[in-house]
Chains A and B, each alone.
Chain A
Amino acid sequence: MEIPYNVQPRPDTGLYNSKLGIWLFLASEVMLFGGLFSAYILLRVGAEPGYWPHGWLDVRFGTLNTILLALSAITTLLAWVACKVGEFGKFKFFHACTIVLALTFLGVKMYEYHDKWIHYEIKLADGTFADGHMESAVYVDKSGKELESHSYRGNGFTEVTDGVTNSYQLASVTIDGRIVKDETLLYDLRSQKNIPRDPVTITADKITSMENYGPWHNTFLAIYFTLTGLHALHILGGTFVIGYMWGPGSKMWKTNREQFTNRIEVSGLFWHFVDLVWIFLFPVLYLT
């Protein structure tokens, strides 16, 4: 038995099955991202005055990613048009462009995440704060042997080498940053663009606590990682689907050209939604 309206649109709705399905799915996605945007607004208006970060994200990377996604929306559309006019070679080219643009977007996003991951705020014993990117951490074992690590591995760790267990304790950390007296100076960086950053070495006895700029650091970073992480997962998922259509899934072009073109349209609708989410994420997170 043939499933009705699998390829041709249903006369009353004007939609074929998969298009109806993707629009229902996108409606649920609007609710998902809408809820998270609401969470962002509530967290922001509920933040203590002076404690909502400004200028923490690099606008240049956000702008670059916006351009990449805008271009990918155009190539997605052109891939669909190429299918419509029966130019399979052009479809392959435009969809390949979409995949490259999407992967570049994810690469930039990973770089931004890494930048936050190695960025530390260190509370010092004298009540001041050191802030900057981790350069190195020096650990010593009981015999006084030093071990330099390019990442912070906690206050201490054990390592088994050739059957011998060595316990290392943190001796000092070096960051590329600065020391400030008031923590609120670290929150609004919009007017502090030209503050010099130098290597600062801090011995372990002067450190009260230290934490990187992960999602646990404050509510801004929590909602930033949640929103952009979820968005990046959508990009990744969309890239897999588009990659499948470009690769093994493109065999359908020979057997059922119309249904294949519909599939390209449906994946394009999803891609446009993901791009549209970014159009809102970019100004909300990077510019305000």
Chain B
Amino acid sequence: MIFPLARKRTKMSLKAFHLIFVTLLTALSFGFTAWAFTNGHPMMGALGIVAAILVIYYGFYFLKKLKKISYL
């Protein structure tokens, strides 16, 4: 094999980009929650917490899938 390292490294795939997206979405959810509570929007703050939990759960679920399914 001429380029063994190239085969191992991340190939800028949709799955890698999706993980970056999920990470930033998590950060946004926490930021939104902080904004909502400091600006007197408790309902929106609650929505932010729920969103953050869901996004984190989804992120780990997605990572688990990544491990199990090699073609991803």
Contacts and interface: CB of A to CB of B under 8 A. Distances in A.
B28 A282 contact: yes
Interface in A223-277: 265, 268-269, 272-273, 275-276
Nearest to A267: B14
Contacts of B51: 67
- A9, A23, A85, A269 — which one has the most chain B CB atoms within 10 A of its CB? A269
Contact of B32 (A74, A268, A283): A283
A14 interface: yes
Size category of the binding interface on chain A: 20 to 34
A276 B24 contact: yes
A19 to B, nearest CB: 7
Contacts of B1: 11
Contacts of B18: 73, 77, 272
Interface in A60-74: 63, 66-67, 70, 73-74
Nearest to B58: A74
Interface string A2-15: 00000001011111
Interface in B24-72: 24-25, 28, 31-32, 35, 39, 41, 44, 47, 51, 55, 58, 71-72
A279 interface: yes
Interface residues of B, number: 30
A105 to B, nearest CB: 15
Chain A interface, DSSP helix/strand/loop, else mixed: helix
B12 A19 contact: yes
A49 to B, nearest CB: 21
- B1, B6, B7 — which one has the most chain A CB atoms within 10 A of its CB? B6
B28 to A, nearest CB: 5
A73 B13 contact: no
Nearest to A74: B58
Contacts of B11: 9, 14-15, 19
A85 B72 CA distance: 10
Contacts of B20: 276
B57 to A, nearest CB: 13
- A23, A67, A73, A76 — which one has the most chain B CB atoms within 10 A of its CB? A73
A273 B21 CA distance: 9
B14 A63 contact: no
Given A12-B3, A287-B31, 4 more contacts: A9-B11, A15-B12, A77-B14, A279-B25
8 contacts: A14-B7, A14-B12, A73-B18, A77-B14, A77-B15, A84-B72, A268-B14, A279-B21
